[in-house]
Amino acid sequence: MRAEEGNTVQILPETMLENVEALLEAARYGDMDDVVRLASAGVSLDSKDSQGRTALHMAAANGHVDIVEYLISMGVDLSASNAEKNAPLHWACLNGHVEVVKKLILAGANVSVLNSYDKTPVDEAVTRGKLGVIDAINEAVAQAELIGIRVS
C-alpha cells in the first residue's frame, strides 16, 4: 500500500514486504526483467525474507547465472546468511550449479564460511556428490588467488 503525503509517496511496510517477496520470486524463477524493475523501484537487492534469504540465495540455488552476475555487479552482500547460516555459495554448491559457483568465488565469496551445521560450501558439494562443483571450486579458487582475490 502507498500513502501520499503532499508530493512524497511513502511506501507502507506491507508493500515493502510484498516487494521483497516479489524480488526473491523473480530471482528464484530467473525473471531478470522483474529483478531489474524492482531494483529500479528502490527495493534493496540485499533485502531478506523471514528465513533470511536474499535474491542472491534464490538465484544461486536455482542456477540463474545472469541474475547472479547482475546482483554481483550491483554490489550485493556475497556472504549474506539465511536462518541456517547458509551463504549463497552453499546453495549453489549443494545444487550443483558450477557456473554460479565460479562466478561467486571469482567475485570474492568465502569458500570457508560455515553454516549452522558446521559445513562449508565444499562440504555441501561433497555430501551431495557434486564432483563437478568440487572441480569448479578448486579451479575458481586458483584463479582468484592468481588475480589477488581473497576467498577464505
Please report the DSSP string for 97-109 in residue order. -HHHHHHHHHTT-
Q: What is the pLDDT of residue 16?
A: 80
Q: What percent of the chain has pLDDT over 70?
A: 91
Q: What region does 81 belong to: left with phi over 0, alpha with psi -120 to 50, or beta?
A: beta
Residue 22 in any domain: the answer is: yes
CATH of the domain at 82: 1.25.40.20
Residue 37 in any domain: the answer is: yes
Residue 152 in any domain: the answer is: no
Tell if the pTM clears 0.75, that is, is over it: yes
Residue 75 in any domain: the answer is: yes
Binned at pLDDT 50, 70 and 90, residue 12 comes out as very low
> Mean pLDDT over residues 121-143, rounded?
91
Residue 79 in any domain: the answer is: yes
Q: Is the pLDDT of residue 2 over 80?
A: no
* Cα–Cα distance, 57 to 27 (Å, whole number): 8
* Cα–Cα distance, 115 to 53 (Å, whole number): 13
Instruction: Give residue 92's domain range.
Output: 2-146
How many residues make up the chain in this entry?
Answer: 152
Q: Is 5 helix (H, G, I), strand (E, B) or coil?
A: strand
Residue 151 in any domain: the answer is: no
More confident residue, 10 or 20: 20
Q: Is the pLDDT of residue 13 over 70?
A: no
In this structure, the number of other CB atoms found within 10 A of the CB of residue 18 comes to 14
Residue 33 in any domain: the answer is: yes
* Cα–Cα distance, 130 to 145 (Å, whole number): 23
* Cα–Cα distance, 57 to 80 (Å, whole number): 8
Per the structure, the count of domains in the chain is 1
Say how far residue 128 (Cα) sits from the centre of its chain.
20
* C-alpha closest to that of 67 among 101, 31, 104: 31
* Cell of residue 64, nine digits: 540463474
Q: Is the pLDDT of residue 62 over 70?
A: yes
* Cα–Cα distance, 48 to 9 (Å, whole number): 23
Residue 41 in any domain: the answer is: yes
pLDDT averaged over every residue in the chain: 90
